Structure 1
Amino acid sequence: MRYLVRDRMFAFHEEAWIETEHREKLYRVNRKFLRLRRTFALVDTRGEHVASIVRKAFTIHHTLLIKQDGELTAKISKKMFTLFGDRFKVRLRDGRRLTIAGNLWDREFDIRHDGTTLAHISRRWFTIRDAYAVDVLSQQDALILLILAVCVDHTLQDAKGDQVTNL
């Protein structure tokens, strides 16, 4: 199933919406800025807190922690040095290890487990800067795959210094 992540430009605080391909809103990503940490809250359409994404401060690798119901669900880290493309490592609570590999310039990434593609993240077909598609091939892991897509996008924007200024 295809999902779209759309950033709201010119909001009083940064937020993004995760929608189905039919424009049905599912989740809102609120970005809260703290002094030493940067926190994102994933909230459903009823306002229920679904997950938190916390950027660890003072780490060598860009590391984000994903928490659901107060428990660590996943840890995602960007590899510092790669010859070709960008690579991320993901460790899930159930012990699975995922890789996210792709190319910043092509704006194409795949989330994989043991050589099987679970999701594909793409900005290629969007001419506007504030939207990208996430094609989820594993519906049982859809929520965590969407959260990982948001993490990858956030990490790459941070790396480029591409911060949106709020009005």
Structure 2
Amino acid sequence: MRYLVRDRMLAFHEEAWVETEHREKLFKVNRKLLRLRTTFDFVDTQGNQVASIVRKALTFHHTILIKQNGETVGRISKRTFRIFADRFKVTLSGGRRLRIAGNIWDREFDMADDSGTLAHISRRWFTVRDAYAVDVMSEPDWLLLIILAVCVDHIIEDREGEQLTNL
């Protein structure tokens, strides 16, 4: 199943929508402003918080915690810098591990575990909006894989912002 994550570029605060390929809205991703740590909330169309993404402060590598119902269900961190490929390490509750690897230049990433590819992230530019697709091959994990895609996008955007301020 294909899901789309569409950023609202002209919003007062950072906001994105997760939609099906048929443009049915599923979740709104809100960035909470005025916080010491970067926090995003996944909210369903009825206004219920489904998950939150919290960037850990004071870490050497970008590390993001994924929380549901106040419990940490996963952790994603960026591996050391590579010239042509980016790699992320994901540790889920229960000890399950995922790998996310791809090319930052093409903005194409694959999420996999020991059984194979679970999802593919493909970033594309559409007219006025910034959007990317998440093709999910593992339906039981679809929500977690979309959350991880948002984490990857946030880490890349964060790093690009840091590089621009260092110029």
Q: Any idea what the Cα deviations from partners look like across 1:39-93, whole Å, max 9, x if unmatched?
A: 0000000000000100000000100000000100100000123353000000001
**Offset, 1:156:** 0.2
Give the 4+ runs in structure 1 shifted more than 4 A. none
Q: Any idea what the Cα deviations from partners look like across 1:111-154, whole Å, max 9, x if unmatched?
A: 00015000000014x44461000000000000000000000000
Partner of 1:114: 114
Between the aligned partners of 2:51 and 2:88, the Cα distance in structure 1 is: 20
Contact 2:65 2:75 in 1 (8 A): yes
Partner of 1:82: 82
Q: Any idea what the Cα deviations from partners look like across 1:21-50, whole Å, max 9, x if unmatched?
A: 000000000011344200000000000000
Between the aligned partners of 1:27 and 1:81, the Cα distance in structure 2 is: 32
Contact 2:84 2:104 in 1 (8 A): no
Between the aligned partners of 1:151 and 1:42, the Cα distance in structure 2 is: 12
**Offset, 1:12:** 1.5
Identity %: 70
TM-score normalized with structure 1 length = 0.92
SS at match of 2:23: coil
SS at match of 1:105: coil
SS at match of 1:130: strand
TM-score normalized with structure 2 length = 0.92
Q: How does 1:19-98 map to 2 (within 5 A)?
A: 19-98=19-98
Instruction: Answer yes or no: is 1:150 the counterpart of 2:150.
Output: yes
Name the aligned partner's letter for residue 111 of structure 1. M
RMSD between aligned alpha carbons?
A: 1.4
Instruction: Answer yes or no: is 1:133 the counterpart of 2:137.
Output: no
Between the aligned partners of 1:75 and 1:136, the Cα distance in structure 2 is: 20
SS at match of 2:10: coil
**Closer, same or farther: CA 10–74 of 1 in aligned 2, 3 Å:** same
Contact 2:13 2:33 in 1 (8 A): no
**Closer, same or farther: CA 102–74 of 1 in aligned 2, 3 Å:** same
SS at match of 1:95: coil
**Offset, 1:104:** 0.6
SS at match of 1:123: strand
Name the aligned partner's letter for residue 51 of structure 2. A
